[in-house]
A and B are shown apart, each in its own frame.
Chain A
């Protein structure tokens, strides 16, 4: 009789341990890379940290399934390695031997991913749930592309420059015309590059450039 009770007890305890095992169908593997994330300020992974993890996960399940009172005891952890990886399964508070479905767990984790990461000062890359891909942040896309603004500034400056260059000789010519009525002398106010600045004095056309060229 006593042996039968012992066997039953052993079996039941064995059954109770079975929910969490590596490659469990409703479990997830977690990998933490604390030293990569925090370098010198890395904390040591110990029982207390594990307790925090289970509590955070219980929080995530509670937030997702409103009404069901998940507790730390509902999160079962096993197969811890020195790398800091482990498997976990979630049991339902209503039925302690039944596991919560993988999909539901995934949704809960996705919803509270940010909170879980922050609890451990880690990121999506350093706190990995193998099988749950992190949602990618879309690249920053401002409304007005900044390059158009810079382009506008440059073109504005160039346009202003062109207008100044084209208008200034006309302004100078007007001013000269007004002065010409007073004086006979003509100033060469414009730069030498502009077309044909004539000057007073005899300029012997026989030495002008045109005549040097042999006609083709």
Chain B
């Protein structure tokens, strides 16, 4: 049972307990430190709680059986998330290195795990900051009344509104045309859209200034970026509950459908969501915990962080669905009123002849009495369930559904500013962990010289990243963001997580790891941790990975485009990817995943050739 692969020279590569005690006493070394425990906890909370908690978890919760989804989510939080979290915290705190340093210290062949973490953090950071740029654009545009997404522009001869806007809606038009100017396919670049370039510049400079001295500046910024979202969510909760229809939204969210628990995709989605929510395998958490004092109680931290993440997800979901319920009720009421108006106009009935309460009866009566007139009228079917379930995840939630709901609230600019400031803070705090996971490995790998001051490292990283991000400033940018989101942030993270667990448990040695924890926090981890680290968590991650690969391989690669000329407009059209996209997908998903075995093999070859030349 205690399978440990041979790992010679481990003791030479890692600091011994005496070294750690001495380093603690002398406070030697130029390694950064947290000012206080609160800063560390807030940074980790900010890292874990990101935009996905607002726009991914509520959708999953509602579509996989509402309240019943909390059962697999919380179970997997405890069985998969918490053990991996403690693993990353403990290994960082023990070996006192960033992600590359830690894996290199465990075994030089495993440096690939660190490299993979760095690549994944880089790719995710690129598209994540583009989302921040879009959020900033909306934030900057919220300081006016009326909000710019409430109005359609007039067409050329001033007789009507622009047809694209007329057929879809003002918020759709504002997002896809004014903000992004999207083309109809990923292959069609369409040139650079300069408002997005400007916002990308703003986004990267804000990140740069916040992280310019590493955690000593970002640790201060995090007091605002980690706490403000909770306050804003609270304000929105109170405001949301006073709006009409909010309770129908909450009911829709939490209505349990226990049958969904039998569906394996529910458990898979819950597992994947837990994995991504904890920002595991990005390398940032290892880095952050390596700045802790040696005897910091990381087990307590892991449990606290898991609890906070779980509760925040539920809290954010509740707030989101009060607003969605309000919007759906508004649209439903408008739909019914429009139908009543159409009927009254067609049959010249007095205005309050048909009310919302007798609408059904009146409609049926008219339909039976005048069967040849009524179908010719433009009577829309008003379906509350459909309205509650439309466009409620991802960018559609934030930029279309929420912006529309905000325009219907009195005092819209204030709510819009609050909402986008909250999203901005959520995104920025996640990006701090992200950029930590990129800059520290770059330093450890000697790609950036160690002698450079932290300011130069941050500056260079941000400038290079900004230039690469111009890819997303093209008119086809949104399709690239979706591509990155789907492929860079899924399979590689799962593979890295799996390798991490195997490396610590079977190569570093679970016995040695237990002793380390006993040295650091004073007692050995309980049987729960032993079982989860050795069997349950790796098994869960492996199952999710395999199922994900299988389903992806079976699906045809399609994506949604905004095409005013398509038949299904204003719904997005599903289009196949061009063939060269497979190369891009390989770069995004394949290279980070293969970095682990790839690096090991290349090192093996180098050592063999070294041995051969020295033997000669």
**A residues bordering B, Cβ < 8 Å?**
31, 33-36, 81-85, 133, 135-136, 138-140, 142, 146-151, 154-155, 158-159, 161-162, 165-166, 191-197, 203, 207-209, 212-214, 216
Contact = CB atoms under 8 A, between A and B. Distances in A.
A165 B603 contact: no
Interface string B1-22: 0000000010011110001001
B152 interface: yes
Nearest to B351: A35
Task: Give the interface residue-count category, chain B.
Answer: 35 or more
A33 B338 CA distance: 13
B348 A161 contact: no
B580 to A, nearest CB: 34
A187 to B, nearest CB: 16
Nearest to A160: B209
B603 A216 contact: yes
Contacts of B160: 136
A139 B455 contact: no
B351 A33 contact: yes
Contact of A191 (B205, B216, B451): B216
Contacts of A149: 143
Contact of B352 (A35, A139, A203, A207): A35
Given A165-B209, A214-B9, A216-B111, 8 more contacts: A83-B348, A136-B154, A158-B209, A162-B205, A191-B216, A192-B30, A193-B214, A196-B30
Interface in B111-166: 111, 136-137, 139-141, 143-144, 146, 148, 151-154, 158-161
B146 A140 contact: yes
A191 B154 CA distance: 57
Contact of A83 (B111, B214, B344): B344
B108 interface: yes
Contacts of B161: 136
Contact of B213 (A84, A193, A197): A193
A140 B146 CA distance: 8
Nearest to B105: A212
A194 B154 contact: no
A161 B13 CA distance: 40
Given A140-B151, A165-B209, A82 B350 contact: yes
Contacts of A146: 140-141, 143-144
B481 interface: no
A147 B140 contact: yes
Contacts of B206: 154, 158
Contacts of B148: 139
Interface string B155-180: 00011110000000000000000000
A81 B152 CA distance: 35
Nearest to A161: B209
B349 to A, nearest CB: 6
B202 interface: yes
Contacts of B23: 207
B453 A85 contact: no
Contacts of B28: 203
Contacts of B482: none
A107 to B, nearest CB: 16
B345 interface: yes
A151 B198 contact: yes
A185 B455 CA distance: 27
Central interface residue in A33, A34, A209, by most chain B CB within 10 Å: A209
14 contacts: A33-B341, A36-B341, A83-B345, A83-B348, A146-B141, A147-B144, A151-B198, A154-B206, A165-B212, A165-B213, A194-B213, A207-B19, A212-B15, A214-B9
